[in-house]
Amino acid sequence: MKITVLFFSQLRDLCGVEELELELGESTAISDLLESLYQRFEGLRKWDSRILVAADHEYVSRDALVVPGQEIAIMPPVQGG
């Protein structure tokens, strides 16, 4: 299945990309997606406990399954002012 991954703020700078299109296997969980991203962008792993993930503009847990065509946003913690 094909999905789009978007990176925001410091994580975009860290990874050096704003957006990726990925091909994943069926029944891929957000946790599996994150692990594959950590292997691709080693510095991203240090953010693991603080990363927020949204699927199609809704926050999701790491055990949520990715669905074909989904847009997954990888974000640092939300900060207010």
In a 3-state reduction of DSSP, which class is residue 35?
helix
For residue 79, pLDDT over 80 is answered with: no
Of 79 and 41, more confident: 41
3-state secondary structure of 5: strand
Q: What is the mean pLDDT of residues 63-73?
A: 97
What tokens does 52 get?
A: 């927020």
DSSP code of residue 24: -
**Segment 10-58, tens digit of pLDDT:** 999 999 999 999 999 989 999 999 999 999 999 999 999 999 999 999 9
The whole-model pTM stands at 0.91
- Give 78's pLDDT tier (boundaries 50, 70, 90): confident
Q: Which residues contact 22 (CB under 8 A, 6 or more apart)?
A: 2, 3, 4, 5, 33, 36
